[in-house]
């Protein structure tokens, strides 16, 4: 017989199979997920969720598509969190520490509570990447924040009102545009595509039967 657990979705109790993720448990309980559901694979950050296990003090955070249900879970999803998103032109930003002071000055009000890191659904060292941003070390900030899915949970817990995912996004853009070495092989390939070097090859491919196309795809060389 299938084991079940009791979970509370938005305050209402449901018996659900114990091997389901929170996201599947919501669907099992009859919720139709219009918001708060995207890739279902831990990449898009649409399914940020907060929960507390009955009888425990700690408020936990997770991605609903990646986390199994547990007995006594009180669950609320957070399909959107209102981050501060400044508008700028990456082609004209001043790629120095001053840009953070100008666009996201609240990062200098960080009190070091580490709530952002503790709540990160990706287990990133969020406070550390904000420290890198404060010092204008955009390459380090970009590296440390690389797996951010922008779910916004860190910002929901921040007493200084920092929009960590947007700060990290700016650092990654600066890094990509001004600091990281140019990817010349990529530029060459784009140029080849634009000048039509592959047109015949692509047309020949497009005219193949679908099964042959699938076979070619499944047996392709994968660069590692
Ligand atoms: S649905 Fe995309 S991360 Fe969960």
Find the 118 Cα to ligand 1 centroid distance in Å: 19
Q: What is the pLDDT, as a whole number, of residue 122?
A: 95
Q: pTM for the complete prediction?
A: 0.83
**What's the pLDDT tens digit per position in 190-221?**
999 999 999 999 999 999 999 999 999 999 98
CA distance 181 to 163: 28
Report the alpha-carbon angle 62-42-130, nearest 5. 65
* CA 55 to ligand 1 centroid distance, Å: 28
pLDDT at 103 over 70: yes
Q: Does 190 sit in the ligand 1 pocket, CB within 6 Å?
A: no
The predicted-structure confidence for 33-79, as pLDDT tens digits, reads as follows 999 999 999 999 999 999 999 999 999 999 999 999 999 999 999 98
Residue 136 Cα to ligand 1 middle (Å): 31
What is the C-alpha separation between 125 and 154, in angstroms, rounded? 11
* CATH architecture designation of domain 4-77: Roll (3.10)
So where are the chain's domains? 4-77, 98-179, 184-216
- Answer yes or no: is the C-beta of 40 below 6 A from any ligand 1 atom: yes
Whole-number Cα distances in Å, 149 to 123, 144, 170, 185: 11, 13, 14, 28
Helix pair 164-174, 126-134: axis angle to 10 deg: 50
For ligand 1, whether the C-beta of 36 sits within 6 Å is no
Pick left, alpha or beta for residue 158 (phi over 0 → left; psi -120 to 50 → alpha; otherwise beta).
beta
Q: pLDDT averaged over the chain?
A: 95
127/110 Cα distance (integer angstroms): 9
pLDDT-derived band at 224 (thresholds 50, 70, 90) equals low
Ligand 1 center–CA 47 separation, angstroms: 5
Distance CA 183, CA 213 (A): 30
- Mean pLDDT along residues 183-196: 92
CA of 144 to the centre of ligand 1 (A): 21
- For 116-149, the pLDDT digits (tens) are 999 999 999 999 999 999 999 999 999 999 999 9
Question: In angstroms, rounded to a whole number, what is the distance separating the alpha carbons of residues 144 and 108?
Answer: 18
Mutate to test the pocket of ligand 1, among 24, 65, 122 (most ligand atoms within 8 A of CB): 65
Q: Is the CB of 150 inside a 6 Å radius of any atom of ligand 1?
A: no
Specify the ligand 1 atom closest to the Cα of 44.
Answer: 2
> What residues does 13 pair with on adjacent strands?
8
User: Cα of 101 to ligand 1 centre, how many Å?
Assistant: 32
DSSP per-residue string spanning 168-218: HHHHHHHIIIIISPP-HHHHHHHHHHHTTTTHHHHHHHHTS-HHHHHHHHH
Say what the pLDDT of residue 133 is: 97
47 pocket-lining for ligand 1 (C-beta < 6 Å):
yes
């Amino acid at each position: 017989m299938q084991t079940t657990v009791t979970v509370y979705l938005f305050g209402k109790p449901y018996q659900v199979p114990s091997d389901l993720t929170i996201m599947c448990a919501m669907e099992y309980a009859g919720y139709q997920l219009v918001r708060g559901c995207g890739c279902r694979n831990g990449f898009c950050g649409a399914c940020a969720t907060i929960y507390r296990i009955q009888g425990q003090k700690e408020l936990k955070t997770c991605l609903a598509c990646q986390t199994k249900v547990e007995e006594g879970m009180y669950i609320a999803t957070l399909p959107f969190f209102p981050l501060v998103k400044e508008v700028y032109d990456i082609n004209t930003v001043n790629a120095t520490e001053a840009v953070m002071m100008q666009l996201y000055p609240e990062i200098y009000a960080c009190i070091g509570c580490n709530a952002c890191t503790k709540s990160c659904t990706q287990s990133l060292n969020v406070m550390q990447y904000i420290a890198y941003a404060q010092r204008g070390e955009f390459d380090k900030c970009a590296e440390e924040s690389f797996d951010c899915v922008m779910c916004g949970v860190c910002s929901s817990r921040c007493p200084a009102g920092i929009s960590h995912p947007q700060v990290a996004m700016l650092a990654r853009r600066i890094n990509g545009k001004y600091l990281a070495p140019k990817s010349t092989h990529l530029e060459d390939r784009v140029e080849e595509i634009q000048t039509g070097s592959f047109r015949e090859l692509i047309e020949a491919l497009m005219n193949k039967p679908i099964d042959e196309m699938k076979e070619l795809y499944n047996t392709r060389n994968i660069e590692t």
